[in-house]
Copies of this chain bind each other. A is one copy, B any other.
């Protein structure tokens, strides 16, 4: 027995908090409709909680000291971003919050909370807070976190996730008229670019990193491109031409590419076979008859085939 006590395992991690935001949030006026769209980056699939949890779970299991440190740095920053976007939402909902808590003329409030997409959900269910839902009202789920614990795959996932988050921030900036909101979104968007760069460096600091993992591919199938969608519009590009690519267009060469019969088989014990045959016989389909069916009963009307009830 020996103890795994390398430095990275000995000095991990504790969180602290300081009472200033990472970026100042200056919202010009309440706007629950806009708040509802901003939820996309609070509780949505490309949002800050998903980012933080992606890097945090990777950091926990990572043994390489450099990557572990980087992952925890960025995970911590994403939690701070979660606060920034959360504060934007809370400020945009401030007007509704008071009305909801203290009451208002009925019609007025109903109109306000239903004026924009899901903002009523935010306002009604969460009382003007920031909920961990996306802009369409779907609750955040850990199914968004694609960590699998292998660094050359996980770093590629991180690169892609930062690219997606960058685009969503860009789209949110396109729908925002409020200058203060736009400024804070611009900061958050920019940081996704910086993080993508860090993850790219970390990926290529592993050498080789392609193909990912340890087991090599079957040489026969590594450079084949199966032209599965055929017809007018077949295109050629670097993804299937040049550079060693072999395009397979003949439909017969796309099936059973191992040279076998393209069937699925399993060796069964005599007992298993007997039981399967019994089940098959019991539920066999007779193909030689044209049975009367429920659809025909229903189409004919019930009268023809039914008796007056006693």
Residues of chain B within 8 A (CB-CB) of A20 are 11-14, 231-232, 255-256, 261-263
Report B-chain residues with C-beta under 8 Å of the C-beta of A11: 19-20, 231-233, 261-263
Known contacts A24-B261, A133-B136, A133-B142, A291 near B278 by CB under 8 Å: no
Which of chain B's residues have a CB closer than 8 A to the CB of A53?
49, 132
- Within A147-187, the residues touching B (CB, 8 Å) are 147-153, 156-157, 159-161, 163-164, 166-168, 170-177, 183, 186-187
* A221/B187 in contact, CB under 8 A: yes
- What distance in Å separates the Cβ of A243 from its nearest Cβ neighbour in chain B? 5
Evaluate contact between A217 and B205: CB separation under 8 angstroms.
Answer: no
Which B residues touch A23, using CB under 8 A? 256-258, 260, 262
Number of copies: 6
> In the complex, what distance in Å separates the CA atom of A109 from the CA atom of B206?
27
Residues 100-131 of A at the B interface (beta carbon under 8 Å): 100-104, 106-107, 109-110, 113-114, 116-118, 120-121, 124-131
A10-41 toward B: CB 8 Å interface, digit per residue (1/0)?
Answer: 11111111111111111111100110010010
A97 CB contact (under 8 Å) in B212, B260, B279: B279
Question: Counting chain B CB atoms within 10 Å of each CB, which of A75, A104, A257 scores highest?
Answer: A257
**Additional A-B contact list (12), CB under 8 Å, known A4-B267, A24-B258, A237-B285:** A11-B20, A17-B230, A26-B260, A40-B124, A68-B233, A77-B228, A117-B120, A194-B223, A197-B222, A198-B239, A291-B306, A292-B302
Q: How far is the CB of A261 from chain B (nearest CB, A)?
A: 6
Query: Chain B residues with Cβ under 8 A from A206's Cβ?
Result: 283-286, 302
Q: A7-B232, A168-B125 are in contact. Are A156 and B150 (CB under 8 A)?
A: no
Cβ 8 A contact of A102, one of B13, B69, B243, B278:
B278
Q: In the complex, which of the residues A26, A150, A288 has the most CB atoms of chain B within 10 Å of its own CB atom? A: A150
Residue contact A125 to B131, C-beta cutoff 8 Å: no
Which residues of A from 277 to 310 have beta carbons under 8 Å from B?
A: 278-280, 282-303, 305-310
For A82, list chain B residues within 8 Å (CB): 56
